[in-house]
Structure 1
Amino acid sequence: MTISLQYTNITVSDVDEALAFYRDALGLEVQQDVASGGHRWVTLGSDAQPGLGIVLSDPHAGRSQADGDVMQELLAKGVLPMLVFSSDDLDATFEKVQASGAEVLQEPMDQGWGPRDCAFRDPAGNTVRISQAS
C-alpha cells in the first residue's frame, strides 16, 4: 500500500491577488480554475512535484456561512497554518518574491536547527516560508 498527498488547501481572501503571489512570484502553474456558486477553487502545481495540487479558495468556498465567517476571522488574524516550500536557490527565490512586493517577514538566514530559510506573507496574510533544499 502507498499513500501520498494529492491536494492541500490555502484559504485566501482574494483568489486573484493570491494568484499573483503563488503563480507569478513563486512560479507555480495553474492546473485548474473552477467556479461554482460564486466561489473559485484554483489548483496550482509544480513540475518538481507532479501530482500535488495546491488549491486556493476563499473562506466561504464549500463551507457554511458560519464556518466561512470563522475561517475569515482566523485568516484576518494570520493564524492559519503556514506553508513551507523548498527551493534549490533560496537567494534567487527570495529576490523574485521580494520584487513582487510581497511582505517580507524574514530575509534569508541560517537557522539554529539546520535549514537556511526566509519568510513572507501572502496577500491574505498567510505565512509562507521558503527553505533551501538540501
Structure 2
Amino acid sequence: MNAKLREHADLLRRAAGHVRGHLVDVTPGPWMSVGETNRKNSIALVGAVAKRGTGQAIAVLAGDPRTRHADARLIELMHPPVPEGLAALFDRAAAAMDSLDDTDRQMRMTEAHLAHLADLMEIVRLAREVLREGVGR
C-alpha cells in the first residue's frame, strides 16, 4: 500500500472518530442563536439554545460584543447533524483513498484518478484542522 495514501486514510478515520467522540451525549437540537440585552444592568447575554427533554441546553458566549452574535450563529449552524455528516464524509473519503491505493498498486492511475485525489486532499486538509494538526500549529 502506498504509505502516503495509507497515512491519509488513517488520518481521515481518526478525524471521523474524533468528531463522533464529541457527539456522545450532546443535545440533539435544533440549536437556535439567542441574544438578550439588559440596558439597565449593561448585561448582554448571547448564546445558543437547544431543547433537551423538558429542559434546555444553553451555550452562553462572553467576550467581544462585536463577535458574540456571529459566534452564536456558528454554534447554531453546527447542530449535531452537521458533524455527523462530516464524520461520514471523512469515512467515505478514507474508503476512497483505499480504493485509489488499489488503483495505484495496479498502476492504473489516470488523470481522473488524480483529480479525485486532489479533491480528497481537500478533505484531508479539513480533517487535519478538526484534529488540530494543521500546518503551523
Q: Which has the higher strand share?
A: 1
Question: TM-score range with shorter-chain normalisation?
Answer: under 0.3
More helix by percentage: 2
Of structures 1 and 2, the one with the larger relative CO (CA 8 A, separation 6+) is: 2
Q: What is the TM-score with the length of structure 1 in the denominator? A: 0.20
With normalisation by structure 2, the TM-score equals 0.19
